[in-house]
Structure 1
Amino acid sequence: MRPRLRSSLLWGLVGAMAFVVLVQGYDLAVARLPVGLPARLALAAVVGAVVASAAYATEHRLHRRT
């Protein structure tokens, strides 16, 4: 696996996990959300895919500047 692809996939995983943690924290601290666990995990997968895509698209630009 190419390093750029692996890095973007790991950033996607970090983004998905951060989303799950934030939703869970909001659920515990503020209010019970009417959304179930499968919907939360599906939305976390979408967030992870968006983060991975953004990381893949922009990583080469950031790497060139450093």
Structure 2
Amino acid sequence: MLALPPRVASSALWGVVGGLSFLVLVQGYELLADAGVSIAAKFVVAAVVAVVAGVSTHLARGRVPVENERD
């Protein structure tokens, strides 16, 4: 099994959260606006959002003050 350092695992999980959040928003848009978005476009943009969220989380860690976490 691949053992990732906690910092990398945390960043990857935030990337997953970002990608899934985008898919939820697209689903809500389709339900409310009665407009369709192709499945390929959904997953391509969700993948981009996931990568950007994961990388930005990884780069921002240590630069953003966090009072409620112990390191």
Q: Normalised by the size of structure 2, how large is the TM-score?
A: 0.81
| Residue number among 36, 40, 62 corresponding to 1:60 in the alignment | 62
> What is the count of residue pairs matched by the alignment?
64
Report % sequence identity.
Answer: 39
| Paired amino acid for 2:61 | E
Residues 13-53 of structure 1: CA distance to partner in whole angstroms, max 9, x if unpaired? 000000000011011111313x3101110110000000001
| Paired amino acid for 1:42 | V
Q: Normalised by the size of structure 1, how large is the TM-score?
A: 0.86
| Paired amino acid for 1:39 | A
| Paired amino acid for 1:2 | P
* Greater radius of gyration (CA): 2
Q: Is there any run of 5+ residues in structure 1 with no aligned partner, and where? A: none
| Paired amino acid for 2:31 | L
Residue number in structure 1 paired with 2:11: 8
Q: Is there any run of 5+ residues in structure 2 with no aligned partner, and where? A: none
- Aligned residues: CA RMSD: 1.4
Residue number in structure 1 paired with 2:52: 50
Residue number in structure 2 paired with 1:38: 40
